Amino acid sequence: MSLAIPDIRPAVLRSETSTALIEYLEFRHVVRNVYTFNLRPDRVAELVNALRPTCQLVEDDLLSLARLLAAIAMTPEPSPQG
């Protein structure tokens, strides 16, 4: 979602958002693949503290995509040449 696909779609997530989300993906991997007694409380606290700002980044990026899609939807299609 953080990569633009030429002639298909722009990047949906900014680099900053993608980086923030990777932290949570890595944590999920640890939780799913390592016993939970190995969790570091300080790391969990960091992720909890960063959750609201990360959610805001995601919301901003998705609203930007929604605005783009709305603009595309409102753009008249070219009339066929014939």
Tens of pLDDT, residue by residue over 53-80, are 999 999 999 999 999 999 999 988 887 7
- Does 82 have pLDDT greater than 60? no
Mean pLDDT of 3-18: 95
Lowest mean pLDDT among 22-26, 39-43, 63-67, 77-81: 77-81
Flag whether pLDDT at 26 surpasses 70: yes
Give the H or E element holding residue 42.
helix 41-74
pTM for the predicted model, two decimal places: 0.80
Rounded Cα distance between 3 and 17, Å, is 12
Alpha-carbon Rg for the chain in angstroms: 19
